[in-house]
Amino acid sequence: MRRILIMSLLGFIFTLQAQAFRWASDAQWIGSSDDDQCLYSPYLAAFRLSIQFRLGVHADEASIVWGADDERLLSADMNPFEVSHEKGQTWVKLVYRQIGDSATVNVYRKGYAPADDDAQPLAVFPVPRQSTSATRGFHHIVIASCLGDSKIYVDSVSVGTINLNPLGRGGDFIAFPVLGKVGFAVGEGQKAEVREFAVGNYRSPYGRIARIKELEGTYDGLTRIIDPSRHSMPLLRGYFNARGAVKKAELRITARGIYDVKLNGKAVNNSYLCPGYTQYNRTQPYQSYDVTEDLRQGNNQLDVQLAEGWWMGAATYEGQNWNYFGDRMSMKCQLDILYDDGHKQTFVSGPQDWKYTSQSPVVYGSLFQGEVYDARKENGEEEWEPCEVIGIKGHVSHEGWGNGPAPDDYSQLQYMETSSDDSVDSIATLTAIGMTEPRRGVYVYDMGQNMVGVPRLCFHNLKPGQRVKVRYAEVLYPNLPEYSGKQGMLMLENIRAAMAQDIYIARGGKEETFAPRYTTHGFRYMEITGVDTPLALEQVQGVVLSSAHCIQAHYECSDSLVNHLWRNILWSTRGNLLSIPTDCPQRNERLGWAGDLSVFSPTLVYLTNAQALLRRYLQSMRDVQHDNGRMPDIAPLGGGFGGFLWGSASITVPWEMYQQWADTLTLRQHYPAMHGYMEYVRTHYFDAKTGLLVQEHAWGDLSDWLSPVYAQDDKSLIWEAYYIHCLDIMAQAARVLNYTFDAATYGKTASERRRFFCETYLDKTTGRTIASAFMGEKRGSLVDTEVSYALPLAFDIVPLSLRSRLADNLLSVMNRENRMDNGRSAPPHSLLTGFIGTSWISRALSLSGHTDEAYRLLTQRQYPSWLYPVTQGATTIWERLNSYTSEDGFGGNNRMNSFNHYSFGAVGYWLMAHSLGIQRSPHHPGFKHFIWAPEADSTGKLTYAKGWYNTAYGRIESSWEIKGNKVIYCLTIPKGISATLIMPGTKSKILKAGSYRFSQYWRKS
């Protein structure tokens, strides 16, 4: 316990160092007033309607309307049912009907699905008698709708729940209904009075967004339906006076939401989505800018545009997390000026010096939903009001997500300055390579590459107020019978509840450009509607956004499909490093799933210098770690599912950083969290009777996720192998940090668990893997899957006497046909591992002396394999190896089917470390000294491979080429570092800086 307290104290000291800057006491969080919040009803899919009304003396019913005139239902091109209606023909309606002191609530839907019948209620809910006792008094109806799943309350009493989304319940579906147009109605000859009609937030603390006064008042046989949208994203403005010659001026700024800041009309930040994504109630990021050159003597003006970002709006695949961190955007800044004469001046954010307008051109800005931009509002005719202080109380929910912490706990808040190293920046610009018109007026542009970012569209001669819509998809519906009539249209089912739509409202003129800054999309295809004629290809560009600013590694070989695979790995790396490492960049998820990062991190640290980003991610992991040591499955936020293998990222990622970059600082800072997690696993995840690592016996305790043979594995075998791997890492990390007691303890436990693994999961005679008691009646039966051998081989779990048998068993599995869970047969040399095993399968083969099989696995073209998606047109790594096939289309996986998911790209490590042989030295982290152990392809499928890796000291270049019966190896070592040569048939030796060439006899295996 004393040791844990000391380590926690060290972590606290590092935290203090991270927040050395102190904000001025009068720097405040400021934003717009309660009455000027942005409401954009076509995009609002989680909301609460609150209506207070009373019926007239002789009236017996009144209706509340929402979801009316959803723009997607007005055109068959914009919705999955391909329905098309005139305005006034689509709505959801609640009818409150009262006769005497008996009442019902009837719910109707019209125009959403072909089977909708406006005369037949979807549901009838009786209203409890206590809610009808005051027959002619005011009633209060609340409709809480979350992606269509709607709860109805009458006078604070829940009367019923109904799912109004015709596609299905929850976040896995395109979201219907949105708030849309809303209204109130009574029939002819009936009267009612509406005292209040308000729109509020679905999530607690249920703050009001807007009061719709246009719908309040007396109704006499009247129907009123309006668009309640009002106000824009807040734009804040501050004026200050610089009194003298300026020597240095530094602006520090952050936001709850995201910001763009300008000084005297000039952009201060070029990066997107500032200040970035963290666990905001624990770690608030901010940026510092040197603005000396842009400051002028006399009057100066700071403008700060805010948008939702990760702070509020749609977040995660569950709609109840809308406004997860808070329901109000705000900004905090401090400008410190040092004058030539030595005196200082500080200008801070506060209501006394700042004003806001709720009529900025950025009508709405959401990461999931998209950006709406009204260029007509660029004329500078805004009305300005004094800013208000925006606090936490009353604006942040206490409800965490799943196993995540309460987001209103600010007791440990720290501010962290982040640098440009992990910012979201424009790293490339793509121009459309083709355009089709699958339906009249629907123009679909192909960017040629699945990318993450925003469009840059150049328009000519648009009319003032003309609305141009832009939608995004990774794939199109193919020409298969299942998708008849939809061929060539965007496939949006896998985007799910994210609206993913931008709207540009033109100011009118010869030329104007739309380039959103407050959203991102994952897409290859861009659909543009609302233009009179199609844009030329050069007018349609995609701005690629990423926190992976520079690629640090390269691989190339004689197989064009493998080269394409490498490019796909790079593009998925770019697309999924966006302030944090994400699982996917397009659907209503985009989360920091720890398991995905854990398996990909060995590849990631080669590809890009993500050190700053990973440090911040690990800070988020610590921020959401439970007091008992449990690590969440997702960071920031917490929540999710996955269990031990996902939480193990807190062990594997800092160790990868140490090995790749000699990052002892991060390892030391994170070690208390690592130790706490391992203690949690030890005390919570083992069955006392069997000794097995069993976790919680829940579905969400994942193992080799998305393996084609997932159901055939013994989960506990995989968990046990990874537990031993984590114990080894902890022992090594403890030695690095001179925690000798911990090193000995973890080492001893690892030895004990190795014995347990061999006794429990291996047949003593054959060395084949067998099921444990975790599998119940299957105990003792063969497991015999690729991952069950790959992990113990890669993690050096079995003794030398068993190693060759395990390797032979792995080869036996790989050289035969195997039955997959879907009932189909997988050909020999197939990739039958999921997220976990894929990271280790090739390494296990090479470490066992079977690199030839690793090359057969690499070059396999049939499903399941790495190259199969390439043959199907993939330009990024897919979530599933069969996300699309030319025979089966999307295989019924239209919804959970990301086409940009880096996990299966974990083979990138093997390409660098084994094929090219550029390996880290266990005794010299950071490539001051490295191991060169290239392995040419003895199968002859590849005839050459070459590439490089940029270390902190310079570029290492490696290559091999087969020429006749010889293989030629070449190496270039930059100045200041050295290498150990390890090559079969050659004596190991030390190589200093310089260029080398070796040749060996080669024979095809």
pLDDT in tens, 120-145: 999 999 999 776 555 568 999 999 99
- pLDDT, residue 19, reads 52
Is the domain 232-417 a CATH 2.60.120.260 member?
yes
What pLDDT band is residue 301 in, cutting at 50, 70 and 90? very high
Which pLDDT score, from 0 to 100, does residue 382 have? 79
Topology adopted by domain 553-915 = Glycosyltransferase (1.50.10)
Residue 10 has pLDDT above 70, yes or no: no
pLDDT computed for residue 17 by the predictor: 46
Q: Identify the pLDDT of residue 403.
A: 84
**Which pLDDT score is estimated for 129?**
79
What is the pLDDT at residue 490?
Answer: 98
Enzyme catalytic residues: 589, 879
Q: What is the mean pLDDT of residues 898-910?
A: 98
Same fold for the domain at 41-226 and the one at 553-915? no
CATH of domain 425-546: 2.60.120.260
Model pLDDT for residues 170-186, shown as the tens digit of each residue: 999 999 999 999 999 99
Q: What are phi and psi of 18, to 5 degrees?
A: -70, -20
* pLDDT at residue 984, rounded to an integer: 85
pLDDT at 131: 61
Phi-psi region of 849 (alpha: psi -120 to 50; beta: other; left: phi over 0): left
Question: Which residue in this structure is represented by tokens 């000396």?
Answer: 292
| Helix, strand or coil, per DSSP, at residue 278 | coil
Residue 419 has pLDDT above 90, yes or no: no
pLDDT of residue 2: 46
Strands (E), 788-871: 818-819, 825-826
Q: How many other C-beta atoms are found inside a 10 Å radius of the C-beta of residue 338? A: 15
Can you tell me the mean pLDDT for 733-755?
98
Domain covering 41-226 in this structure, CATH number: 2.60.120.200
Instruction: Enumerate the domain spans of the chain.
Output: 41-226, 232-417, 425-546, 553-915, 916-1004
Question: What is the per-residue burial (b if ≥16 Cβ within 10 Å, else e) of 642-661?
Answer: bbbbbbbbbbbbbbbbbbbb
What is the structure's pLDDT at 14?
47
Give all strands of the β-sheet with 223-226 in edge-to-edge order: 123-127, 102-110, 91-99, 61-68, 181-185, 223-226
Contact assessment for residue 913 and residue 922, using Cβ atoms and an 8 Å cutoff: no
Quick one: average pLDDT of 785-809?
97
pLDDT at 738 over 70: yes
pLDDT for res 572 = 98
| Residue 985: predicted pLDDT | 83
* Cα–Cα distance measured from residue 453 to residue 575, given in angstroms and rounded to the nearest whole number: 8
Which CATH number is 916-1004 given?
Answer: 2.60.420.10
Give 869's contacts (C-beta < 8 A, 6+ positions apart). 568, 877, 878, 881, 882, 883, 884
**Would you say residue 404 has pLDDT above 90?**
no
Structure tokens that stand for 652 in this block? 């594997």
The model's confidence at residue 187, banded by pLDDT at 50, 70 and 90, is very high
Q: What is the pLDDT of residue 134?
A: 54
Q: What is the pLDDT of residues 207-249, one digit of tens each?
A: 999 999 999 999 999 999 999 999 999 999 999 999 999 999 9
Mean pLDDT of the chain: 95
Position 866 scores a pLDDT of 98
pLDDT bucket at 893, cuts 50 / 70 / 90: confident
Asked whether residue 5 carries a pLDDT value surpassing 50, the answer given is: no
Q: What band does 385 get if pLDDT is binned at 50, 70 and 90?
A: very high
The per-residue pLDDT for 132 is 55
Q: Indicate if the pLDDT at residue 12 is higher than 50.
A: no
